[in-house]
Homo-oligomer: A and B are copies of this chain.
Amino acid sequence: MSSEVSYSKEPHRNSRFTINSKEPFNAEPPVSELTKSFVTPNDLFFVRNHAPVPDVCLDTFRLTISGLVQQPLTFSLTQLQDGFRKVTVMATLMCAGNRRTELHNIQPVRGVGWGAAAISNAVWGGVSLRDVLLAAGVGPYARNMHVAFEGLDHANGAPYGGSIPIEKAMDVNGAVVLAYEMNGETLPRDHGYPLRVVIPGYIGARSVKWLSSVIVQKEESSNFFQRKDYKVFLPQVTWDTVKSLWDATPALLELNVQAAITYPEDGTVIENGLPCSIQGYAIAGGGRRISRVDVSIDGGKSWNVAPMVQEKGSTSTGNHHWSWTLWIYKVDQLPTPCEIVCRAWDTAFNGMQSEREWNLRGVMHNSWFKVKVLPAEHASKL
């Protein structure tokens, strides 16, 4: 039974990953690798699992569409592929816990210790969730309901799951994909083989992998990961006091604006006065674009605009945009020691936080990203 799956059948993984948790497997690529290509190679795409990877047999795999639909449907993967037009969407996924470890300096956070590389960008090939729901008789302008997803992985004895508002699912510009391909290859097991839903612009946790069930329903998903995790609280909220707050606190859906420096890394040694090409990524939630990335080489006292690059290949649906923005800021003579800081603004001019603030689950942390660069004389002392 799928609920009894153990860690004995985990897929092979890239040895270059930083493993933050072995069972379940959670790993991120070296942060400097992230911005070497606009599309992340499959074997370097960050992996966030909540349970053992299901060992799915394609012959028996079925996707069911049920709940508040006119016509419940069941598909094998081939039926899904043959029955609907193929769509491809380039979209970045990011874990809501990206950059969690930076909060450990304030107070430890229970959860996977992510650096700044719990984010990757891929081209997802599959069918449109909207198309499939239309086939099940859901109206194109359905409102005030939720689309719940369940995977074949079992965490805490129940299937992993979550939900999104039906307006996102039915939005012709919403770009929600039931993906069976990742960068032109068969979806890898670590990313949900044979099928996952990809919800562009949302926290990664909603892009349920090993997808087996889509349910249209009145309420949001009652799954643990929708109701009792992935929420933000004030710093004073503890594991004791949070109990009364889960229900009153909304589930995270869209991502906030985020940016990080991928080169140089914190502690890099660069001789005073040498040139430096500072690099990084930025991303906004909900299909908003990045309006501006600012870089400071004096610890945030003064800023300059960083040129944004490589936006052209990415997917936009209408005025919505689903991929990260990469940027390079070239300094002719970097004065070291120095603190390099970056921050980004989305098109609604929402910005990042200047200070770190702890929260119980360590999610949505988007304070200005800071790295210290040391002068050459420091290296000889190491």
Contact = CB atoms under 8 A, between A and B. Distances in A.
A282 interface: no
Per DSSP, are chain A's interface residues mostly helix, strand or loop, or mixed? loop
A382 interface: no
Contacts of A144: 318-319
Interface of A: 141, 143-144, 165-168, 171-173, 232, 234-236, 249-250, 252-257, 285-286, 288-289, 291-292, 294, 302-305, 317-320, 345-351, 353-355, 364
Contact of A349 (B232, B291, B304, B318): B232
Contacts of A250: 289, 291, 347
B256 A348 contact: yes
| Identical copies of this chain, number | 2
A294 B172 contact: no
A250 B284 CA distance: 15
Contacts of A172: 141
Given A165-B319, A173-B167, A354-B353, A305 B253 contact: no
A317 B143 contact: yes
B294 A234 contact: yes
Given A285-B348, A294-B234, A320-B167, A355 B354 contact: yes
Given A234-B303, A350-B350, A288 B319 contact: no
Contacts of A318: 143-144, 165-167
